[in-house]
Amino acid sequence: MTTLINPKHISWVNPQQGTDQNGNLTAWDPSTDMKGIELQFDGGTPIEVDCGFVTSFDMSTLDAYKALASGAHTVDIAILTKEGVLGGFSVQQTFSIGVAPLVPTAVDLS
């Protein structure tokens, strides 16, 4: 599997079910109950993003993403309800931050 370099967007499929206080599966409607997401880079402090009912997000708008050093990183995501209940975090996805070289200079033909 090829590691993605400098990804900008994360996308997912919203759950259609949740669990109640007794651990029973119940219907859950993200279109009416979803407040947003929490993203977590490298297992660090989760970042709450109030984005409503969405299925993708531009990570490059976050200061925490912009601050990532070159190298391998992980990101995972959890759904946040309007009541403030946080679901579990997804499986971590691996990506790399790479440095793009500047344009060559003094190019000459002979």
**CA 39 → CA 23, 76, 82, distances in Å?**
24, 6, 17
Q: What is the pLDDT of residue 56?
A: 97
Is 0.75 topped by the overall pTM? yes
Q: Is 18 part of a structural domain of the chain?
A: no
CATH of the domain at 74: 2.60.40
**CA 95 → CA 42, 45, 46, 55, 87, distances in Å?**
10, 18, 17, 19, 23
Q: Is 93 part of a structural domain of the chain?
A: yes
Dist CA 95 CA 48 (whole Å) = 20
Q: Is 80 part of a structural domain of the chain?
A: yes
Residue 84's domain comprises 33-99
What is the pLDDT tens value at each position of the chain, 110 positions in all? 567 999 999 999 999 999 999 999 999 999 999 999 999 999 999 999 999 999 999 999 999 999 999 999 999 999 999 999 999 999 999 999 999 899 999 999 99
Q: Is 27 part of a structural domain of the chain?
A: no
Q: How many domains does the chain have?
A: 1
